[in-house]
């Protein structure tokens, strides 16, 4: 998936952060209980906090707060303006991240993978983490960007363009642990926000345009040890491998990037995510078949990463349609 639309429009979001209020009081920053990060709590709609990329584990991105509506929106005004010290200001960067807010602090990541903790009350930068991405990195598709971070009671989790996954101390920004989840030299990058759930950090990898084999990985949130891996292109003999050509090695570089953060149904113990295009995205002559699991929605067992079911939205995608948007879970009554 190639999309440069955000680069010029949103680059300024990497350089500054603004807060607007509709003439109302701020929620006070109070100590929050640890179970705010339990699966049960993260399934609820957010209130004063926004502790996961999708607002909740269902990715609903909806706030039940009522202070801002059709009548009060006209009263919005800036109350502070903070510059993020030039991070992500170059032409290759874009600002696409959803900030997290918890206990009076906003956690913001720029296209350079630098993370800032900013006071909601004053706009003061409380701490900064500098990613120091390798300038020679030349395997990034579609602009240097990050779509967000994850957090737990103690840590902020950062997936970097250079394939590293890091846990930062939430109070100081110091690196608590770091793992080389995949190598950028082999075409793997991380642009999606990680997902924290039930002491796991789950992250997908991009790079189909470079010729990767897509994958989703789960790591122990406390020490970064690998728990499981699910490959979005099946190996020979695995379910779905018959949707690729026999006798070639396309399964090793067939694509199916993961551009967005998964959704979770904690009650069912299942995780849901979408995949991107096959490689090459507009020429399917070398890959006859449906090419699972490209351009698909997948459901996995949350604890083990085992396949449960899939729905392929585009068979044999040669139009770069893919599935870049996050899965959203909801209940519906059918008569």
Residue 78: give its domain's CATH number.
2.140.10.10
For each of the chain's 335 residues, which pLDDT tens digit applies? 443 333 333 344 444 566 654 443 444 334 444 489 999 999 999 998 999 999 999 999 999 989 989 999 999 999 999 999 889 888 888 888 999 999 999 999 999 999 999 999 999 999 999 999 999 998 888 889 999 999 999 999 999 999 999 999 999 999 999 999 999 999 999 999 999 999 999 999 999 888 899 999 999 999 999 999 999 999 999 999 999 987 778 888 888 999 999 999 999 999 999 999 888 777 888 888 899 999 999 999 999 999 999 999 999 888 888 888 899 999 999 98
Distance CA 155, CA 331 (A): 31
Does residue 81 lie within any of the structural domains? yes
Report how far Cα 26 is from the mean position of its chain's Cα atoms: 28
pLDDT of residue 330: 93
| Cis, bond preceding 301 (omega within 30 deg of 0) | no
Q: How far is CA 305 from CA 83, 217, 270, 322, in A?
A: 40, 8, 9, 22
pLDDT of residue 17: 63
Using CA atoms of 271, 4, 142, 85 in order, give the dihedral in degrees to the nearest 10: -90
pLDDT of residue 180: 98
CB of 213 within 8 A of CB of 254? yes
Show Cβ contacts of residue 114 under 8 Å, excluding neighbours closer than 6 positions: 84, 87, 88, 128, 129, 130, 131
Does residue 334 lie within any of the structural domains? no
Total tally of structural domains belonging to the chain: 1
pLDDT of residue 2: 40
pLDDT of residue 16: 57
Residue 42, classed as helix, strand or coil, is: helix
Does residue 230 lie within any of the structural domains? yes
pLDDT of residue 83: 92
Does residue 324 lie within any of the structural domains? no
Does residue 225 lie within any of the structural domains? yes
Tracing tokens 């990034």 back to the chain, one arrives at 140
Does residue 318 lie within any of the structural domains? no
pLDDT of residue 50: 96
- Produce one character per residue of 187-202: b if its CB has 16 or more CB atoms within 10 Å, e if not: bbbbbbbbbbbbebbb
How far the first Cα of the chain sits from its last, in Å, is 38
pLDDT of residue 322: 80
Whether 246 is a known active-site residue: answer no
Does residue 45 lie within any of the structural domains? yes
Tracing tokens 């900030």 back to the chain, one arrives at 99
Distance CA 198, CA 196 (A): 7
pLDDT of residue 221: 98
Which of 53, 56, 317, 320 is the catalytic position? 320
Using alpha carbons only, what angle is made at residue 311 by residues 194 and 186, rounded to the nearest 5 degrees? 45
Cβ atoms within 10 A of the Cβ of 240, count?
A: 21
Q: How far is CA 57 from CA 149, 217, 270, 327, 334, in A?
A: 14, 17, 11, 10, 23
Does residue 165 lie within any of the structural domains? yes
pLDDT of residue 23: 40
> Domain containing 150: what range?
5-23+33-312
Q: Token pair for residue 225?
A: 């040890």
């Amino acid at each position: 998936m190639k999309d440069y639309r955000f680069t010029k429009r949103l680059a300024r979001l990497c350089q500054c952060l603004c807060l607007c209020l509709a003439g109302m009081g701020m929620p006070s920053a109070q100590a929050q209980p640890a179970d705010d990060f339990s699966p049960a709590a993260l399934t609820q709609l957010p209130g004063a906090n926004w502790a996961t990329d999708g607002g909740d584990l269902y990715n609903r991105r909806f706030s039940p707060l009522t202070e801002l509506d059709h009548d009060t929106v006209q009263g919005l005004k800036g109350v502070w303006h903070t510059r993020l010290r030039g991070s992500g200001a170059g032409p290759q960067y874009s600002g696409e991240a959803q900030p997290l807010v918890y206990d009076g602090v906003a956690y913001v990541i720029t296209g350079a993978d630098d993370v800032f903790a900013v006071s909601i009350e004053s706009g003061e930068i409380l701490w900064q983490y500098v990613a120091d991405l390798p300038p020679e990195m030349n395997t990034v598709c579609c602009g240097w960007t990050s779509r967000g971070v994850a957090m737990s009671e103690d840590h902020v989790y950062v997936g970097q363009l250079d394939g590293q996954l890091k846990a930062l101390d939430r109070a100081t920004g110091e690196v608590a642990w770091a793992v080389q989840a995949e190598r950028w030299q082999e075409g793997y990058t991380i642009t999606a926000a990680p997902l924290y759930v039930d002491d796991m950090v789950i992250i997908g990898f991009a790079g189909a345009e470079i010729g990767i084999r897509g994958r989703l990985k789960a790591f122990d949130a406390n020490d970064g040890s690998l728990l499981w891996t699910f490959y979005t292109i099946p190996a020979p003999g695995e379910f779905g491998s018959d949707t690729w050509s026999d006798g070639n090695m396309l399964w090793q570089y067939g694509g199916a990037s993961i551009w967005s953060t998964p959704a979770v149904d904690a009650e069912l113990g299942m995780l849901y995510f979408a995949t991107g295009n096959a490689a090459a995205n507009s020429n399917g002559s070398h890959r006859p078949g449906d090419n699972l699991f490209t351009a698909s929605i997948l459901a996995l067992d949350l604890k083990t990463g085992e396949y449960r079911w899939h729905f392929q939205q585009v068979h044999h995608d040669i139009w770069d349609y893919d599935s870049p948007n996050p899965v959203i879970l909801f209940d519906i009554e059918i008569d």
